[in-house]
Amino acid sequence: MKRTTDPFEIDFRQKFELRDKVIVITGGCGLIGRAFCEALAQFGATVVVADIEVAQPEEFARLLEKKHQRPMLGFALDVIKKTNIIELKESILKKFGRIDGLVNGHQNKTHLKFEPFEQVSEENWDTVVEVNLKGTFLMCQIIGSFMAEQGHGSIVNIPSTYSVVAPNQNLYKGTSLGCPAAYSSSKGAIDSLSRYLASYWGAKGVRVNMITPHGVWNHHEEQFEKNFSNFSPLQRQSYNHEVAGALVYLMSDASSYVTGDNLLVEGGWTVW
């Protein structure tokens, strides 16, 4: 890092540049994942879209390649399968020869959305915890360890507002929606894991941070949108593209002294 107190010596725009950085995004075909991929690509990154087969990550990577006129990679995997992640790492290194960033944007919760706590089966609990937490652990273990060995890298994990505060049950009044306890619990553990790794890999030049999105609009029920606005200081839901600026910052040298942080993109939800 440049040892100076003179800001005139610094190119602050350059700090946000992602050119030459190879960044892997799990859940890259998801609502937020797609915005993450496109935003990073616009700042020059080579994007690796990693998602389950049915989400067609290769297809989305082809769209990014076409738009940005440079090679990207789409890779079908299941984040709970270590062998898949080892294959992912090998494919990236074969194609691009480097890995500079990892974003764990995958999630599993939807099949539990309507299941009251009293009725959650052990099997459903295990599935959510396995995909969200173990998937993040394995990705960090395989890709993060590689970056620690090379001596630099940036990891962003995604907890949830509902690992920072409990869900306000009034939010769901008059709607068919809800937030499962397994989701909050798995996300709380992702927060702890991220802080652990920030400390563990700090000396190896790998920064580990979090982004907490909130209420990202996806054609929600009208009543939900209304309830949400009443509880939100900004009085509205967010959009996926509003989460992406935080990722550009955390993946770039603009955040070179930031690690172990949870950047809340939640419209002030937890402020009152």
Ligand X SMILES: NC(=O)c1ccc[n+]([C@@H]2O[C@H](COP(=O)([O-])OP(=O)(O)OC[C@H]3O[C@@H](n4cnc5c(N)ncnc54)[C@H](O)[C@@H]3O)[C@@H](O)[C@H]2O)c1
Question: Which residues form the interface with ligand X (CB under 6 A)?
Answer: 26-27, 29-33, 51-52, 55, 77-80, 105-108, 131, 135, 158, 160-161, 213-216
User: Which residue's CB is nearer to ligand X, number 154 or number 157?
Assistant: 157
Least distance (Å) from ligand X to the CB of residue 23? 16
User: Which residue's CB is nearer to ligand X, number 105 or number 153?
Assistant: 105
Q: Rounded to whole angstroms, how far apart are CA atoms 206 and 151?
A: 7
Indicate the burial class of 22 (C-beta count within 10 angstroms; 0-12, 13-18, 19 or more). Answer: buried
Least distance (Å) from ligand X to the CB of residue 96? 20
User: Which residue's CB is nearer to ligand X, number 107 or number 227?
Assistant: 107
Amino acid in the structure at residue 44: G
How far from 209 is each of 97, 196, 256, CA to CA, in Å? 24, 11, 11
Least distance (Å) from ligand X to the CB of residue 169? 17
Give the DSSP H or E segment for 237.
none
Least distance (Å) from ligand X to the CB of residue 86? 14
Q: Rounded to whole angstroms, how far apart are CA atoms 271 and 234?
A: 11
User: Which residue's CB is nearer to ligand X, number 70 or number 113?
Assistant: 113
User: Which residue's CB is nearer to ligand X, number 78 or number 225?
Assistant: 78
Least distance (Å) from ligand X to the CB of residue 76? 9
Q: Rounded to whole angstroms, how far apart are CA atoms 220 and 132?
A: 23
Q: Please identify the residue of the shown chain whose CB is closest to the bound ligand X.
A: 30
DSSP class of residue 126 equals: H
